[in-house]
Amino acid sequence: MNHLRSLMVVLVATIATTTALAQPTDTLAKIKESGAINIGSRDTQIPFSYRVSGSGDPIGFTNDICLKVVDAIKAKLKLATLTVHYTTLTSTNRIPLIQNGTVDLDCATTTNSLARQQQVAFAPSHFVTSITAAVKKASGINSLADLKGKTVATVAGSTSVQLLRVYRKTESIEVQELAGKDTADGFLLLASDRAVAYVLDDVQLAGLIATSKEPNEYRILKDSLRQEPYGIMFRKDDPAFKDVVDQAVLGLMKSGAIDELYAKWFTKPIPPNNINLAFPMSEAVRNAFRNPNNNGV
């Protein structure tokens, strides 16, 4: 029995050591050695991170911010070149792939939450969204309360799932959840009438509606489950890397350059169809730029 216990102790210690080695804590050294940085992206999160026609490198507001971070890392490490690799992430794999070193920066629409801060770190918030629902105008649904007894679409692994469940419990409303694998899949559930509403961030809903086949069929409810800050996500316990990332983002905010990036993606025509989201900067976003912080919700 003692021999078996000793073997178990050794096994546990070996697993712990292997896990620790699999999670790099000196990202700058890793990047300098490889000459490359890996950015986590999305395919359909307009206008934050998306691919045009499903091919090529992703583009978008958050992607542009991350490329500025890449420039800062390149300068910090005194590298002549720094190759950028992209990995498409989902709501369910983004944190594990950050933790194990596959991806260095998650550059999309990840909410900075207190729960996630136990696992990863966040740069100063670059956007603040409102969690609400999109519906078809013909549905007759005018508020979240009208969803009682209905089927509602969400995205697996998103904070909107938890918020919807809290709302259901608090308001004693029963709804049937139907989860999509990503934001585009969730919208398809609404568009195909498999769900009567789609709970997600208001700005992402606006992007999905604007680029849909029949944008005039939809509207976004005024009700809000919660406001949430977006932040660029990276590994915890790496102060040197965090400093470079934070200073790069803060520099964009202090210089006003982030206002120009915002206008480029939210108030002007964007690829692929030159649609203008006409999504002016909210007071919450303006405050995040003027008073930078990485506070979670």
Cis preceding linkage at 47, omega within 30: yes
227 DSSP β-pair partners: 130
162: Cβ–Cβ under 8 A, 6 or more apart, which residues? none
- How many Å apart are CA 94 and CA 41, to the nearest integer? 9
Quick one: average pLDDT of 289-295? 97
pLDDT of residue 23: 56
pLDDT digits 0-9 by tens, 108-122: 999 999 999 999 999
pLDDT digits 0-9 by tens, 274-288: 999 989 999 999 999
| Cα pseudo-dihedral 52, 58, 59, 63, rounded to 10 | 160
The structure's pTM equals: 0.82
For the domain bounded by 130-228, which CATH number is listed? 3.40.190.10
pLDDT of residue 34: 97
- How many Å apart are CA 215 and CA 26, to the nearest integer? 46
pLDDT of residue 242: 98
At 166, which amino acid appears?
A: V
Architecture of domain 2-126+231-290 in CATH? 3-Layer(aba) Sandwich (3.40)
pLDDT digits 0-9 by tens, 136-168: 999 999 999 999 999 999 998 888 888 988 988
Q: pLDDT band at residue 55, thresholds of 50, 70 and 90?
A: confident
Domain ranges within the chain, ordered by starting residue: 2-126+231-290, 130-228
2-126+231-290 shares its CATH topology with 130-228: yes
DSSP state of 114: T
Is 19's pLDDT higher than 50? no
Q: What is the DSSP string of 12-48?
A: HHHHHHHHHHTS-S-HHHHHHHHTEEEEEE-SEETTT
Q: Which two tokens stand for residue 281?
A: 């900067």
